Amino acid sequence: MSETNYNNLAIKKRRILGPLGRFLMKLFRWDIKGEIPDLRKMILIGLPHTAMRDAWYALLAVWSLDLKINFFGAAWIFTRLPSLFTISKNLDRLGVPWPFWWLQKYLLLKLGGIPVYRVNSKGLIYGAVEEFKKIDNYILVIAPEAGTEPVSEFRSGFYYLAKGLNIPLVPIAIDFKNRCFSIKQHYFVKGTFEEESQKLVDQFKGVQGATRTFKMLEKME
């Protein structure tokens, strides 16, 4: 990680968490390769997302760089704990409840989290575009796989947000083999959703995540 002076980037100086993030990144022998562009608005695309611990290392990276971010997350992660087993078929009530859900929700909201209610998410992207148009300075973080399992197609939110807000994508590889976040060149979306998805697939091909190497599943005919 290198020291960089930013003039436009959404920064939040943290007296305790900033140094703590940098210390823990060194302790766990993780690094950040490349530079976040000094832009007022952008979408960070994190791939591959293969395990919940991705979020832990990403949080340390955010703290270490003093970034002020917003991210979308399934509603249940704001109040419930991950579980290998779940009884509910409601996508907003996965995981297991616990007594300190209120603290979990408070912390995730403070970190910039935006709950996504999967059962009733119609119009979410349009609403997000209209809200973020009012903000002068922000960094959105999106994992287009929308989960830790392999997928045959990305969720389209990243595409419509980038297009609707006219802001660039900044691809970042979550590379467990080399224990680093590799920041790639930013760019604006110009093609169709399918074309832009393929561009991401090509950039992340072969990157080793926590539990698997990035690869898209074959689409079912």
Residue-range domain boundaries for the chain? 122-138+150-166+196-202
**Least confident interval from 18-22, 46-50, 125-129, 155-159:** 125-129
pLDDT score at 91: 67
Q: Which residues of 94-116 are buried (b: 16+ CB within 10 A; e: fewer)?
A: bbeeeeeeeeebeebeeebbbbb
Q: Please give the backbone phi and psi of residue 111, each rounded to the nearest 5 degrees, phi first.
A: -75, -5
Report which of residues 89 and 76 the model is more confident about.
76
Residue with tokens 């002020």: 68
74 has a pLDDT exceeding 90:
no
For β-strands 70-74 and 41-47, DSSP reports them as: unpaired
Mean pLDDT computed over every residue of the chain? 89
**If 0-12 CB within 10 Å is exposed, 13-18 middle and 19+ buried, where does residue 20 land?**
middle
Which pLDDT value is given to residue 47?
Answer: 97
Please state the rounded mean pLDDT for residues 174-189.
97
Confidence band of 156 (pLDDT split at 50, 70, 90): very high
Nearest to 43 by CA among 211, 196, 213: 196
Q: What is the pTM of this model?
A: 0.86
Residue 83 has pLDDT above 80, yes or no: no
Per-residue pLDDT, 120: 58
The answer, yes or no, to whether residue 131 has pLDDT greater than 90, is no
Confidence class for position 85, pLDDT limits 50, 70, 90: low
Q: Which of 188, 184, 219 is nearest to 202 (CA)?
A: 184
Average pLDDT (200-212) is 96
State residue 121's pLDDT score. Answer: 53
Q: What pLDDT score does 86 carry?
A: 62
Average pLDDT, integer, range 149-176: 95
pLDDT score, position 220: 60
Nearest partner of 32 among 7, 6, 67, judged by Cα: 67
Residue 136 pLDDT more than 80? yes
